[in-house]
A and B are shown apart, each in its own frame.
Chain A
């Protein structure tokens, strides 16, 4: 670094010092005054990791109980340094934690852990997603039949659909209820679960679906045109499922021929 770094240079050097630690270029810019610059920077480095670990603990309470506080904090700190946040809104931080756990060797023996983490992330989104007005179904009735067939829906921002390899929902419930008997009775190899996560009265609700019903909801939420999703649906009461989705307010808008028709997310 030059004799006097610009603010931009200094901030990049500090960022490296915080994320990488040790003796870094930033040390040369810090007044020692009886304490090694590296030690002063370590206070900030530790603060960074502790704060993000605390933020992740709020998102992933079941994962934390499954692995214990100390293990969780260790994993969270590694995650924080490997995948730092991109925005100051920490509600958005931690989406990749499940993928990280899947590749985190110390957690390799807990094959179900990444699935539980994915479910907790969906729960977290359900809890904190922005408010949105449910779709006014009356708007659909104003369309002609051709238009209606081409409708693509936009899902509520709190809605999540996930497929887990293990019964992650049962594990999650038992862990949060501290029900060791129930937890002991779960067979992690019992096969996949198709889950729908949404906000109900301010709380997160997790429900199981059959595979075809889940696929139907998934394709609708992915924005595929209604007629395609209906054609592909087999073995389910598609129209009655569609009605349930409307009643539950799972869609907030629709488009026809790429033209947005209804409501948008409120602030």
Chain B
């Protein structure tokens, strides 16, 4: 059986190579064909129960390093973390022994209702303190550091006082968490709010970057011709996002990089081709670093 290329044995840390987000429709194919891909990431919330999906991940993690990416902890909820959900995450981490565990700089729960989205926070001292406290709590319960991902947003609050990049840098510094740099999200939010995407990257602490996400987005035209970019993970990575990814690699060095696709999930080969493209850029960077070291 072919083994994944250049990857350490399963359960190990996530290598600085290209991985793909594993979705249900590809379970069988990945199990049977064992494609050459350096690592896999799944949404933690889809593997909290029993049955076929967790069994599939159990099998795959013997051959591929696995990362657990959560969408439900709601790190920014003023009402506090849901301890039952945190316990579910802890059990999933215990069961699958992932190389990385990540969550989002966002909130999803208010008044006991789960709003099924990664909602934007007002970027204030109050929010920063709260998110730091919640990241501490999660890291205590999981007994390991987590990565926190920058969101894509479609609105900003009037009373925000801290730029998002400074908020993330402060969060990493104060809580000791790493940053999951979603390059597509930076591009989407920068376009939506008129930010400078390159300056955003430059403001992030390079040593805190533990992972990069790449995905496709769409453009929605609203009334009066105004456009919003929507992070729907339903298409190939945009050319501008590939360019920004190159910039990110130059700043951060080689980082585990993931291709995500969640809407209209394409055949596995399409995902693998996108990952191969990211892999080429990662390898170029490694070669040039070796060259620089030797010079």
Contacts and interface: CB of A to CB of B under 8 A. Distances in A.
Interface of A: 4-8, 10-12, 14-15, 18-19, 29-31, 33-37, 39-41, 43-44, 47-48, 51-52, 55, 84-91, 127-132, 157-158, 199, 202-203, 267
B50 A7 contact: no
Given A12-B110, A85-B113, A267 B130 contact: no
Contacts of B78: 6-8, 10-11
B290 interface: no
A88 B158 CA distance: 28
Nearest 4 pairs between A and B by C-beta?
Answer: A88-B72, A8-B78, A40-B155, A7-B78
Interface string B105-118: 00111111111110
Interface bin, chain B:
35 or more
Contacts of A47: 116-117
Contacts of A84: 113-115
A203 to B, nearest CB: 8
B238 interface: no
Given A8-B79, A18-B115, A88-B114, 15 more contacts: A7-B78, A10-B78, A11-B111, A15-B111, A29-B157, A30-B158, A35-B226, A43-B154, A44-B117, A48-B117, A85-B116, A87-B82, A88-B71, A89-B85, A203-B52
A140 to B, nearest CB: 25
A66 to B, nearest CB: 23
A86 B114 CA distance: 6
Given A30-B156, A40-B154, A43-B154, A35 B51 contact: no
Interface stretch (B88-96, B168-176, B252-260): B88-96
A200 to B, nearest CB: 11
B112 A86 contact: yes
10 contacts: A7-B78, A14-B110, A15-B111, A36-B223, A40-B154, A43-B154, A51-B117, A84-B113, A127-B52, A202-B52
A85 B53 CA distance: 22
Contacts of B95: 267
Contacts of A52: 116
For A7, A30, A47, A158, which residue has the most chain B Cβ atoms within 10 angstroms?
Answer: A7
A129 B72 contact: no
For B51, B113, B154, which residue has the most chain A Cβ atoms within 10 angstroms?
Answer: B51
A39 B76 CA distance: 23
Interface string B35-56: 0000000000100111111010
Nearest to A5: B159
B185 interface: no
A7 B122 CA distance: 8
Nearest to A85: B114
A89 B50 contact: no
Interface of B: 45, 48-53, 55, 71-74, 76-79, 82, 84-85, 88, 91, 94-95, 107-117, 119, 121-122, 124, 126-127, 130, 154-159, 193-194, 220, 222-224, 226, 228, 230
Nearest to B52: A202
Contacts of B115: 14-15, 18, 48, 84
Contacts of B220: 43
Contact of B51 (A19, A34, A90, A127): A127
Contact of A91 (B49, B84, B108, B124): B49
A202 B51 contact: yes
Contacts of A89: 45, 48, 72, 85, 88
B155 A11 contact: no
A130 B108 CA distance: 25
B24 to A, nearest CB: 8
B159 A29 contact: yes
A267 B111 contact: no
A69 B48 CA distance: 28
Contact of A30 (B55, B155, B226): B155
Nearest to A28: B158
Contacts of B223: 36, 39
A225 to B, nearest CB: 28
Contacts of A30: 155-158
Nearest to B227: A35
Given A88-B74, A88-B109, A267-B91, A7 B159 contact: no
B58 to A, nearest CB: 10
A212 to B, nearest CB: 31
Contacts of B126: 6-7
B45 A90 contact: yes
B51 A31 contact: no
A12 B226 contact: no
A25 B95 CA distance: 43
